[in-house]
Amino acid sequence: MGSYKDLREFVAMLKDQGQFQEIDVPLNAARETNELQTLMRYVCDQDGPALMLNNLEGYNTPGIPMLFNPFGTRERTSMAMGMRDPLETKLEHARLMTAKDEWHAPKILSRDQAPCKEVVIEEKDIDMRKQIPHVWFGKEQPSFITNAITVSHDPETGERNVGWYRYIQFMDAEHPTGESYTEEQERRWLAAFFWWNPVASHIGLHVSKAHKMGKPLELAIACNVDPAIHLASGTGLNYGEDEFAYAGALKGEPVELVKCDTLDIEVPAHAEFVLEGKCYPEEQMLTGRHSNPVGYYDVINQFPCVRIDHITHRKDPQWYATMEMVPPFDHNYIALLPVEGEVLADLKPKIPEVIDVVVTPNMGYIIQLSVDGADKPHVEFGKYVIHAVWGSAGRWARTAKWVTVVGPDVDPYDLKSVEWAVMTRVQPYSDTIINKSAQAMVLDVSAPRSEQFGAFNSEQIGIDATIKIPERFKEYAPVSNATPEEVAALREKLKGVLDF
């Protein structure tokens, strides 16, 4: 199992594996340019390497190099757990979600052992316009912090939550209705890109409870952390379960934390930056346009304000920036592997015929079974699996708009193969389920919207692309194809003659 103290060690490993490149060519990160989004398009379409952008222009902190595209492939996301194969990785991720005896309580370091404390910026000196990198992607009106995990505690029970959420920064941000943000807001305010009323995440529940209790929510934002912590923060564990202890299971050893200077919250000791502050839900900030993972901009949104009271960082800090746009983009896979793990952890124990759950970068769900046709355990088994996905644990699968169930001879990572199964095994009326009353994926632009929450209610389609024995046929036409083993053997035979 891979264990990296911090994101730097992960990047050093990528370098050793030939999956990392330093870029000294000047690139422009200013809002009026589109070079970073263009770079994201280019490298993600080519399954390109992780990059360190050393020479950004139009950038408020030119001394801070910017990590780009570290998780841009399924393989690199697996490497965050010291593995390579996506299915093996997600099975291990899923297994560890319930193997509580393999979770490790975090180790607490003293202040002087923690690199994230090397430089301290006290409240009176905070000016994020000079201290925190601001980069723009595409036509986004504010710039985002996208590299940060947030630690907060349930204001009633004290239980910890760690989640990966974006934050909106106000330096040079355009206001969506033409007003302007104040200097104080540019200096030390953020808006938290999470919905809290109604809640759509565990931190949303913390904010909501704090609001009812009439107090702000204390939170700590840690930037660029150990990839196991990033992965755990993107995982929807059961409410109250500790993502740091689960990250310890993903690493095979405890993660190292240190206490915040101004809050009773512990954060990853090897983070590059730690921002300590409070969320004030009654102070709603209007922000927009933001570019979202569905590949569209929203125009205007309303999020709770966060005021930063204290900052610490490393001496020569680094930054990591990613963005959401038409998929695929860098963090698709580190966001989707946890969802695949959540669904597998739920389905596997009750439906052992489930081999793999693949969530595509567009958030289509493909479920591969080990059986098909007459070997299915009962009539309409494919439809049972569709319902099980919609009813499975975690935050996202209930919003799965498109679920396709396939047999073992279909490659769930290859949409050509999935399409072949749909075209040759599905009758659209009989083999699909349309559910008209589902929770929407909150950023789905095709679903009806509520003012406060974004997309609200959605319809869903489940496609049973298994072979319809016994439902419709006694036997099915035999498949005409060469096996992958036959192709590999012939490729070997033609080596040096036909290499492509």
Ligand X SMILES: Cc1cc2nc3c(=O)[nH]c(=O)nc-3n(C[C@H](O)[C@H](O)[C@H](O)COP(=O)(O)O)c2cc1C
Residues making contact with ligand X (CB under 6 A): 146, 161, 163-166, 193-194, 200-203, 234-236, 322, 331, 334-335, 395
Nearer to ligand X, 164 or 381 (CB): 164
CA distance to 34, 37, 256, 267, per residue, from 155 (Å) = 42, 39, 24, 18
How would DSSP label each residue in 40-71? HHHHHHTTPPEEEE--EES-S-TTS-EEE-TT
Least distance in angstroms from the C-beta of 297 to ligand X: 15
Nearer to ligand X, 114 or 191 (CB): 191
Sign of the alpha-carbon torsion through 70, 73, 74, 79:
negative
Number of neighbouring beta carbons within 10 Å of residue 66: 23
Least distance in angstroms from the C-beta of 17 to ligand X: 22
Task: Give the amino acid at 266.
Answer: E
Nearer to ligand X, 159 or 309 (CB): 159
**Which residues are CB-neighbours of 279 under 8 A, at least 6 positions away?**
152, 192, 207, 210, 216, 217, 219, 304, 305, 306
Nearer to ligand X, 58 or 236 (CB): 236
State yes or no: cis peptide before 328, omega within 30 of 0: yes
Task: Give the amino acid at 485.
Answer: E
Least distance in angstroms from the C-beta of 171 to ligand X: 19
User: What length does the chain have?
Assistant: 500
Nearer to ligand X, 163 or 317 (CB): 163
Task: Give the DSSP H or E segment for 157.
Answer: none
Least distance in angstroms from the C-beta of 492 to ligand X: 39
CA distance to 120, 152, 190, 207, 251, per residue, from 4 (Å) = 25, 24, 29, 32, 8
Least distance in angstroms from the C-beta of 455 to ligand X: 13
Least distance in angstroms from the C-beta of 162 to ligand X: 7
Nearer to ligand X, 393 or 469 (CB): 393
Helices (H), 391-483: 415-425
Least distance in angstroms from the C-beta of 463 to ligand X: 25
Number of neighbouring beta carbons within 10 Å of residue 343: 27
Least distance in angstroms from the C-beta of 408 to ligand X: 30
The token pair that represents 162 in the structure block: 């760690």
Nearer to ligand X, 114 or 231 (CB): 231
Nearer to ligand X, 331 or 425 (CB): 331
Nearer to ligand X, 189 or 194 (CB): 194
The token pair that represents 68 in the structure block: 């780009």
Task: Give the DSSP H or E segment for 222.
Answer: strand 217-223
Sign of the alpha-carbon torsion through 366, 235, 107, 109:
positive
Helices (H), 320-457: 332-350, 381-390, 415-425
Least distance in angstroms from the C-beta of 189 to ligand X: 17
Nearer to ligand X, 163 or 304 (CB): 163
The distance from CA 50 to its chain's CA centroid, rounded to whole angstroms, is: 17
Number of neighbouring beta carbons within 10 Å of residue 42: 11
Helix, strand or coil, per DSSP, at residue 436: strand
State yes or no: cis peptide before 49, omega within 30 of 0: no
Helices (H), 235-302: 243-251
Least distance in angstroms from the C-beta of 19 to ligand X: 19
Nearer to ligand X, 90 or 202 (CB): 202
Least distance in angstroms from the C-beta of 233 to ligand X: 6
Judge contact between 304 and 280, C-beta under 8 A. Answer: yes
